[in-house]
């Protein structure tokens, strides 16, 4: 089961990276069947979960659907030159 969890985390982090997100480690245990993490830049969440008696883990979260606005946020906070 640990291998399936590890594979889901790698898949989730990779998909989030494809959208420009920098996912924090460690992943936080929300429940025995749910772990979550956040993007360091914008705070969007990713999660891995399994329901009931499933052995496989599913991935999801806003960071998998939207590009990270992190660089834009940093530029907006930078003092004027």
pLDDT computed for residue 26 by the predictor: 87
Residue ranges covered by each domain of the chain = 2-77
Task: Please count the other Cβ atoms lying within 10 Å of the Cβ belonging to residue 71.
Answer: 11
Q: What is the pLDDT along the chain (81 residues), one digit of tens a residue?
A: 789 999 999 999 999 999 999 998 889 999 989 999 999 999 999 999 998 887 789 999 999 999 998 766 555 555 655
| 35 three-class SS | strand
pLDDT computed for residue 52 by the predictor: 83
pLDDT computed for residue 44 by the predictor: 94
Q: Which of 48, 40, 47, 50 is nearest to 20 (CA)?
A: 40
pTM check: above 0.85: no
Written as six digits, the tokens of 17 are 């990276």
């Amino acid at each position: 089961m640990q291998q399936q969890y590890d594979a889901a985390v790698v898949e989730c982090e990779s998909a989030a990276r494809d959208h420009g997100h920098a996912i924090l480690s460690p992943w936080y245990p929300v429940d025995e069947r749910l772990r979550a993490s956040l993007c360091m830049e914008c705070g969007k969440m990713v999660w891995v979960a399994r329901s009931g008696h499933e052995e496989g883990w599913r991935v999801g979260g806003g960071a998998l659907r939207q590009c990270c606005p992190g660089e834009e946020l940093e530029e907006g906070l930078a003092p004027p030159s």
